[in-house]
């Protein structure tokens, strides 16, 4: 990759980052995680900032898309809301994957929002943990 001579500082960095691909970053992260003995799981992040992590439903975004307003009139940062929901999707999958199909369906009957993966939030993870602890 040949850079023009007048590229310095942030302009040079932007030029370098332009050629990075998402998969290369993922590959490098997976290599580092394997090196340090960390377990990695991919989670579908699509739509995680659309739903409030407290389970109150869909959120409204401001014009800059950085803040979201819940239906309960709470205001949170959109990325923080999405990260809570991404982590919740990971742990819901972690709890439900080893269970047999009949047990999984029983928990889906107790906590219906875990059936639709795109609507899983932190609140649904908390309700699932309560259902799991009552069953044990």
Residue-wise pLDDT for 60-93, tens only, equals: 988 888 889 888 888 989 989 999 999 999 999 9
pLDDT of 46 above 90: no
pTM of the entire structure? 0.74
Q: Does residue 55 lie in a domain region?
A: yes
Q: What is the pLDDT of residues 107-133, one digit of tens each?
A: 999 999 898 888 899 999 999 999 999
Q: Quick one: pLDDT band at residue 28, thresholds 50, 70, 90?
A: very high
Residues 122, 126: Cα–Cα separation, whole Å: 6
Tell me the HSE value of 119 on the side-chain side, using a 13 A CA sphere.
11
pLDDT of residue 3: 61
Question: Which range of residues forms the domain containing residue 75?
Answer: 44-134
Number of domains the chain is built from: 1
Q: Does residue 128 lie in a domain region?
A: yes
If you write DSSP's letter for every residue of 51-103 in order, what string do you get? B-TTS--B-EE-TTSSEEE-TTS-EEEHHHHHHHHHHHHHHHHHHHTTS-HHH
Q: How many other C-beta atoms can be found within 10 angstroms of the C-beta atom of residue 58?
A: 11
């Amino acid at each position: 990759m040949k850079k023009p001579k007048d590229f310095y500082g942030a302009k040079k960095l932007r030029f370098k980052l332009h050629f990075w691909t998402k998969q290369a970053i993922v590959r490098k992260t997976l290599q580092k995680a394997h090196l340090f003995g960390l377990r990695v799981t991919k989670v579908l992040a699509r739509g995680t900032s659309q739903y409030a992590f407290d389970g109150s439903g869909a959120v409204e975004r401001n014009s800059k898309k950085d803040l979201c307003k819940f239906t309960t009139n709470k205001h949170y940062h959109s990325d923080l809301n999405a990260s809570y929901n991404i982590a919740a999707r990971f742990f819901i999958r972690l709890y439900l994957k080893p269970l047999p199909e009949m047990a999984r369906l029983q928990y889906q009957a107790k906590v219906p929002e875990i059936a639709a993966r795109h609507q899983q939030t932190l609140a649904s993870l908390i309700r699932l943990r309560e259902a799991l602890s009552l069953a044990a």
